[in-house]
Chain A
Amino acid sequence: MEHTLTPGAVLGDRPRPEKNYLNETTGIWSWMTTIDHKRIGIMYLCGVSTAFLIGGVFALLVRLALLNPQHTLFGRVWVTAETYNRFFTLHGVVMVFLFIIPSIPASLANFVLPMMLGAKDVAFPRLNLASFYLWVGGAIFGITAMVLGGVDTGWTFYTPYSTTTDGSVGLMVMAAFILGFSSIFTGLNFIATVHKLRAPGMGWFDMPLFVWGIYATALIQILATPVLAITLVLLLLERTYKIGIFDPAYGGDPVLFQHFFWFYSHPAVYIMIVPGMAIISELIPTFSRKTIFGYRAIAYSSVSLALLSFIVWGHHMFVAGESDLANVVFSALTFLVAIPSGVKVFNWLSTMYKGNISFETPMLYALSFLFLFAIGGLTGIFFSTLAVDIHLTDTYFVVAHFHYVMMGSTVIAFFGGIHYWWPKMTGRMYSEKWGAIACALIFVGFNMTFGSQFIMGGQGMPRRYFNYLDKFQPIHAFSTYGSWVLAVGLFMMAINLLVSLKTGKRAPDNPWGGTTMEWESSSPPVFHNFEHQPVLEHEPYDYRHRTVTHV
């Protein structure tokens, strides 16, 4: 199964240019001062991968702490409640703010979005670099906070706990604040790029669906993140100067903090998932060798998800002291989310219908995505139904649900995207065999870890619990074993990709037979992406014009 070229792909028949974006200039300084979106994308990829590693280690520690109710390892107690609380807080903060929000937009989209539009770079290359350094700055603050005592508030920083507890809450809040600006800059850049830098002849409905998804994401980044910024500033001021807005001891209202926080953080969930969906909309037509079904419906559904994301935040607070009227309204609005999500799934399935489907690693991730997103999405219905939400919210059911959406969908799509564009980014092919095995392990490990948590949650196991009733022990242990399988899969994937840099076969320009513009560049692309300004000749995903050359 070791092949370098997908059957049916178009082989780049021109000679490989000598200079590409990787070897045009050399030295660490040339990377640190680069304003090339491709290099910034690669640096972001390295950064978010490191963050994923750190967040992942905390996740494994959380699972290990829950292996048995006595918290023993080799017969000895190794972790206390205080430490455990720091583990899950840092897992959440790192994964949300440092990893998943920037993951797809800042790394993959940074690399491919301008190329998909046939542009030389993003609209504001310097701002792009500034965004990366803000991310680095945020990461430094975050790591300092971890080293200086850690944080035990949970990633949600709920008041008044967060304004009264010890630890480096201030530093961590600063980190999230800075990362917010990094995210705003990225979003602002993409919107301007999409508006102004499309290739000649490319109208809005000629853009690849990935671009639509990222555009919708960027809208959310611009509109929601400022509210997070101001909320975090208020939190900091409350903590330091007791300004009396969130802390009831000083006349504030803790529920107000939750409103502010979720006004950002619910849209943030869509900053995470919409780019994942956007990648899947690329992978499925490419590997089914068939035009996407319902292009406009998918494009509109991305934008409508972005807009809906702003009016459903209250569903995080059904038991938090909202009025009954607010609960009813938010429940109704939340149900609406099901429609665009469903539309996407049905469109992807219809795309596969009568396709010509092959199973390279990116497609395996896309197929896993469909499976996992179906679970993640359907379990969302339990939460939008008010009466059932009361019982399930704040339990492991919600933990399982959002991991199916965030990890099972977004991260799996991210992995699919990395494998899909890897040949373009690095000019190397990875081992399909190991890619497939890693994907299978991740799939199995993931379902073991989180599938079991639906059962615990329904049974009434609250989240963020260090001690638990003995009856949950077998399921907790099973979940922890699952996390190990998952970890092995992730390491295998990482090693497979890294090894390919050294020993991988040289990648052709268009190894998968993709129809979007980034494949018209060489692998890896030249400094300005294309040797000649590409011009749109046909709609994206149009397979009628493809000469199917089998090598």
Chain B
Amino acid sequence: MSAEPIVRARDIRIWYGTTRGPVKAVDGVSFSVGKAEILGLVGESGSGKSTLGRGLLGLLPDGAAMDGELTFEGVDLLAATPKQRFAYRGTHLGMIFQEPLTRLNPLMRISEHFSETLKTHEPSISKAEIERRSLEVLRVMGIPPSRFSSYPHEFSGGMRQRLMIALALVLRPAFVVADEPTTALDVLVEAQIIKILHDLRNSFDTSLLLITHNLGIIAEACDRVAVMYAGQIVEIGAVDKVFADPQHPYTRELLRSTISLSTTALHSIPGAPPDLVDPPTGCAFHPRCPDALAICAVTRPIAYARDGGAPRSGSTDVACWVASAKSGTVTLTPAEAAPLPREELADADEA
């Protein structure tokens, strides 16, 4: 990984306005993505991971507000005008959506999709150049050039997702957000797409933010992982470190509750994710956390680097009082370190 990150986000907050008050979908998130790096963003539904991905590209709906610092190759994206951000999308920042069929126009041939994309950003491009560049990307995606003038319905589900990836990459963006790119696909096709995404850095030198709820995909495809809970990143670091020795109780419990081929007993996290209009005080995970201390219910944890000191890019950052007390980065008073009495959860609250 090169020293200068492609994307740097600091204290990003994205709130939606509702009649019940603001929904704090993303609430103080900081991370960076290096050149040709794959950062996995994992979390359960409602954790704010998709909102964050869209926010990075400036694709938020009306009624959403975003604040913080977001730079792309040193350029401040949040200070840019909508027109400037529009110019950045596609050419510098790409997006791969979840459902390829709803994103492809059924009345347009594949060739027309490519020529529209390229002409929007490079109005003077020649027809021969469009074909040359499109076919080159399609070839990397394993789509036969003889299908260039076909319509979307003539392709299978996996082929359509390859087309979506090809459409995002034909403009050679340096940074791509892929939001659940394989959720609608079968396991064998999913593995093919994951392999393509993993190899993007070799063929296109692309940095990738891969949003998924599947820890298996993170383990196979990503260099680093950010675990999101209730709009916050609770743990971020190298995938092998985080998975082998998770520091945050949520990461640990999430890994334990994942059903894999080696599962011999069922495990689940008690309770349900919080309402983001009125999230719990202190650490948002404290009502469900088996390790919670008295301080967890009162004060939001301060992120620390696992190998000591303040969090910095590339190290493992954890936002948890228990973990930071164990590592010696903070010293808690006996009152703060007292175990938090757990309220009994009814089954009904659990699911």
- On whether the two chains bind one another, the answer is no
Instruction: Give the A-binding residues of B (Cβ under 8 A).
Output: none
